[in-house]
Amino acid sequence: MIEKALTSADVEFVTTLHGDEQVSFHVLLQPRGEQADRLLRAIDDIALGELDEAVREGKTPEGEEALSTGQRALEVSLTALRSSGSEAQGRLVEDHPLDALKAVVDEVGADEVIVLTDPHYVEEFFHRDWASRARHKVGVPVLKLFSHSKA
């Protein structure tokens, strides 16, 4: 589960987690503009010392614009995973990301879930981030990773 396009460092990281074992990725992307309110994102930016980002939170795409941006991010991520030699398919999630995640885990018989996002300190502190909530919902191990760099 991701919130923005994977960087090359992210792709290398997730594709090497299991050594030479062949893995298949089922990527769910929920655009950032749809998942959390601006105040929480701004607090996260401030906690990371990224004051310029906090100011720009009001310009985060929402609605149709977020979906269009999200679709491009998903395509970039799937192409990068496939170029690394992995099988990859995915879809955009508009509502209820954890319900969609549970459905995919059940449908494909996933062995684990990887949640790869920027840090979200407020949600993490209160265990309301995707990974914390997914651990109680999906029935398989959940690995929480942070993006290596801005996409």
Higher pLDDT, 118 or 90: 90
Higher pLDDT, 64 or 51: 51
Instruction: Indicate the Cα dihedral angle 32, 150, 76, 74, nearest 10°.
Output: -20
Answer whether residue 60 shows pLDDT above 80: no
Q: What is the rounded average pLDDT of the residues 15-36?
A: 83
Locate the DSSP E strands across the chain. Answer: 24-29, 87-92, 113-117, 142-146
Give me the chain's average pLDDT, please.
Answer: 82
Q: What is the rounded average pLDDT of the residues 136-146?
A: 93
Answer whether residue 137 shows pLDDT above 80: yes
Which top CATH class is 8-32+69-146?
alpha beta
Instruction: Indicate the Cα dihedral angle 65, 69, 72, 73, nearest 10°.
Output: -150
Counting runs of H as helices and runs of E as strands, what totals does the chain give?
A: 8, 4
What would the two tokens of residue 13 be?
A: 């990281």
pLDDT band of 34, cuts 50, 70, 90: very low
For the full predicted model, state whether its pTM sits above 0.75.
yes
Locate the DSSP E strands across 24-69. Answer: 24-29
